[in-house]
Structure 1
Amino acid sequence: MLMLQSPLTRKLSAYVALSAADLEPLARLHRRRRSFQPGHELIHEGQANASAFILSDGWACSYKLLPDGERQIVDFQIPGDFLGLRSILFRTSDHSIEAVTRIEATEVLAPDILEAFAEAPRLATAVLWAASRDEAMVVEHLVNLGRRSAEERMAHFLLELGARLALVGSGDRTGFDCPLTQYHLADALGLSAVHVNRVLRHLREEGLVTFRNGRVAFDDFDRLKAVAGFDSGYLDQDGPLLR
């Protein structure tokens, strides 16, 4: 029953209706449970033989550091997400992952996941869907950085986070709890922290969204979607395609 309610199961079930036979190997992937404090680096860029992790509680971020010390956050990971799945397939990790909050995560080694995939092909299909969805989000993030205005990219980013959190039961059309700072938002959206502050104030004054005290409140969800040009189709979470 616990596995049926886990964030990862809820997420994967958006694509594949998982059976009891699929859930057994998925449950075994959760054997090595670990806790990490905020700021702990789970994976660093260039690391060989890195583990992957399944995030069950808390938030993390994946990022790359530039030679001058500047950081570009590629994405934020929420409960139900894999951390560093590519790291167990590549010879070395191509990015770093850090805990944003205190997190609970399960360490997964390459033999573990390959064994689970061999035993449950539908589970493998669901994880492939999740990886493809992550790639679709990266495409949207590139459009955000390259073509959307600061207000549009902030609105799009918050709506995407809200949709992702809703899938795992942690958000809805009214908003969601969010531990991110303005510095996190700046590193993710290619803005300065001062600019982030101005953009959030403008969106709040327009009656669209309020980000205050760790809570994102969608004050006018439909208007915010219009401002962002947000279409959640790329998240592909309207219900299982494989039953």
Structure 2
Amino acid sequence: MLDTLHERRRTFVAGRDLVHQGQSDQAAYILASGWACSYKLLQDGQRQIVDFQIPGDFLGLRSVLLHVSDHSIEPVSDIEVTEVLASDLLDAFARTPRLAAAVLWAASRDEAMVVEHLVNLGRRNSAERMTHFLLELGRRLSLVGLGSKAGYACPLTQYHLADALGLSAVHVNRVLRQLREAGMVTFREGFVTFDDYDRLAVFAQFDPTYMDQKGPLLA
């Protein structure tokens, strides 16, 4: 369904924003390879990472529909994307209603993840927050063939985790060590290993159904 959109391939290097907060009249992108993150920058220079994007995800879709980006997008690693203009999307939606339904489902799934992230920041302690986050990433990656219950390759640094989870980098390091010593999960040298997936899921109260559900239009 997305074949007609795969006409303008672009590459971006890690660390250089491809979308800036407040930017107008810009394209959206479909991430073909690599990882990216969406974030809000505060006036004092601090940032809150809102989400991470993995292959298959849209980047900046809301910005295209609303004309002005309310967040920035930075490649975590070197990435390859397909550029998608608003006119591309509207034409594709008119010709392929199921594509419109698929994009609506993706947007709904992203909203469900935002709800979980709010619960993470507001009600889970730091260890629960970390484990839920790593499990969610693992489930998302498994849906595109890049992860399993054994683990997954992960380019994120402790600073990325800190900005996403509302913790300091020192606290992130401490929590990861505690989880490793407890025999639940190990994050080392760019790889997350689930040492005891089932115990980890119980500890984090992780229920992946908010990412797996598909409505009747996509069944």
Q: 1:184 is matched with which residue?
A: 160
Tell me: CA distance 1:239–1:94, structure 2 relative to 1, closer, same or farther (3 Å).
closer
Count of residues in correspondence between the two structures: 219
Amino acid at match of 2:200: L
Q: Is the 8 A contact 1:32 1:106 kept in 2?
A: yes
Q: 1:20 is matched with which residue?
A: none
Amino acid at match of 2:53: Q
1:87-102 equivalent positions in 2, closer than 5 A: 87-102=63-78
Q: 1:158 is matched with which residue?
A: 134
Q: Is the 8 A contact 1:60 1:100 kept in 2?
A: yes
Aligned-residue offset at 1:50: 1.4
Q: 1:74 is matched with which residue?
A: 50
Cα distance between partner residues in 2 of 1:178 and 1:114? 34
Which of 49, 69, 79 matches 1:103?
79
Cα distance between partner residues in 1 of 2:20 and 2:124? 30
Which of 35, 40, 60 matches 1:64?
40
Identity of matched residues, %:
72
Q: 1:230 is matched with which residue?
A: 206
Q: Which has the bigger relative contact order, CA under 8 A and spacing at least 6?
A: 1
Q: Is the 8 A contact 1:56 1:79 kept in 2?
A: yes
Q: 1:136 is matched with which residue?
A: 112
Q: 1:175 is matched with which residue?
A: 151
Which of 200, 207, 212 matches 2:188?
212
Q: Is the 8 A contact 1:167 1:237 kept in 2?
A: no
Question: Residues 168-218 of structure 1, C-alpha deviation per residue, up to 9 Å, x if partnerless?
Answer: 000000000000000000000000000000000000000000000000000
Amino acid at match of 1:39: G
The reply to whether residue 112 of structure 1 matches residue 78 of structure 2 is no
Cα distance between partner residues in 2 of 1:200 and 1:61? 21
TM-score, normalised via structure 1 length = 0.88
Aligned-residue offset at 1:236: 2.2
Cα distance between partner residues in 2 of 1:163 and 1:233? 10
CA RMSD across the alignment: 1.3
Query: Gaps spanning 5+ residues in structure 2: where?
Result: none
TM-score, normalised via structure 2 length = 0.97
Cα distance between partner residues in 1 of 2:208 and 2:131? 13
Q: Is the 8 A contact 1:45 1:93 kept in 2?
A: yes
State the SS of the aligned residue for 2:26: coil
State the SS of the aligned residue for 2:161: helix
Q: 1:149 is matched with which residue?
A: 125
Tell me: CA distance 1:237–1:218, structure 2 relative to 1, closer, same or farther (3 Å).
farther
Q: Is the 8 A contact 2:105 2:214 kept in 1?
A: no
Cα distance between partner residues in 1 of 2:69 and 2:218? 32
Query: Gaps spanning 5+ residues in structure 1: where?
Result: 1-22
Q: Is the 8 A contact 2:102 2:218 kept in 1?
A: no
The reply to whether residue 39 of structure 1 matches residue 15 of structure 2 is yes
Aligned-residue offset at 1:239: 9.8
Cα distance between partner residues in 1 of 2:102 and 2:133? 24
Tell me: CA distance 1:238–1:228, structure 2 relative to 1, closer, same or farther (3 Å).
farther
Which of 199, 217, 221 matches 2:197?
221
Aligned-residue offset at 1:240: 8.0
